[in-house]
Amino acid sequence: KAEERILKKVRRKIRNKQSAQDSRRRKKEYLDGLESRAAACSAQNQELRKKIQELEKLNGSLLQQLQALITRTSNKAAQTGTCVLV
């Protein structure tokens, strides 16, 4: 009986050791996955910031063109037209 208890204890220690190793491995895989996702999100964020800058630049350019058009059209004298009814 004493041998059985010792054997049980040894088996339990082996199972606990294996369980702890598996737990550490799963944790490492999880953290590696999170780090990969964080890196991907950071890269995507950088791309989106660049796209925002480009769009803001384009928006400013289009706004200047619109203001120039408005200025040109408002500076023209109003034309009077003649309508003839028959």
The structural domains of the chain, with segments of one domain joined by +, span 1-65
Distance CA 81, CA 18 (A): 95
Q: How far is CA 61 from CA 6, 48, 53, 64, 65, in A?
A: 82, 20, 12, 5, 6
Distance CA 23, CA 17 (A): 10
pTM value? 0.60
- Residue 84: the pLDDT is 66
- Residue 75: the pLDDT is 75
**Terminus-to-terminus CA distance in the chain, angstroms?**
126
Query: Tens of pLDDT along the chain (86 residues)?
Result: 899 999 999 999 999 999 999 999 999 999 999 999 999 999 999 999 999 999 999 999 999 999 999 998 887 655 555 666 66
